[in-house]
Amino acid sequence: MTLYFTREHEWLRVDGDVATVGISDHAQHALGDIVFAEVPDAGRSLNKGDDAAVVESVKAASDVYAPVAGEVVEGNAALADDPSLINRDPEGEGWFFKLKLSDPSELDGLMDEAAYREWVKTL
């Protein structure tokens, strides 16, 4: 599996032609205690940059964007009952949705983990 990050603080873990998408640890720290998450339904088609999900914290509400184009194959239903999963394990069990990639070449414009961690230090 390969891990990618965006400048909007989403991560993607790619396995074959399916990417699991969530928000980075940096993003969940910036948001604070997360109280609500809305994930997309399976079957929804997303273009790169589309609003895909919503996350709300005690501080703010934010959109989670589709980092690449594809079709949602699964939303993380566990977040409806326990949105704090995003705070506890943002880059693991706190994932938002799984996306079947429609254009794997879009991954080329994303950062690897080392580049993302270095970029975050500049913020």
Per-residue pLDDT reduced to its tens digit, 9-65: 999 999 999 999 999 999 999 999 999 999 999 999 999 999 999 999 999 999 999
Residue ranges covered by each domain of the chain: 2-102
Residue 39 pLDDT: 97
Place 110 in a pLDDT band, splitting at 50, 70 and 90: very high
User: Which class in CATH covers the domain with range 2-102?
Assistant: mainly beta
Residue 28 pLDDT: 96
Residues of the chain by 3-state class (helix, strand, coil), percent to 5 = 25, 40, 40
Residues 6+ apart with CB under 8 A from 117: none
Q: What are the structure tokens assigned to 34, written together?
A: 């997360």
The alpha-carbon radius of gyration of the chain (Å, integer) is: 13
| pLDDT tens track for 67-106 | 999 999 999 999 999 999 999 999 999 999 999 999 999 9
Residue 12 pLDDT: 97
pLDDT at 1 over 90: no
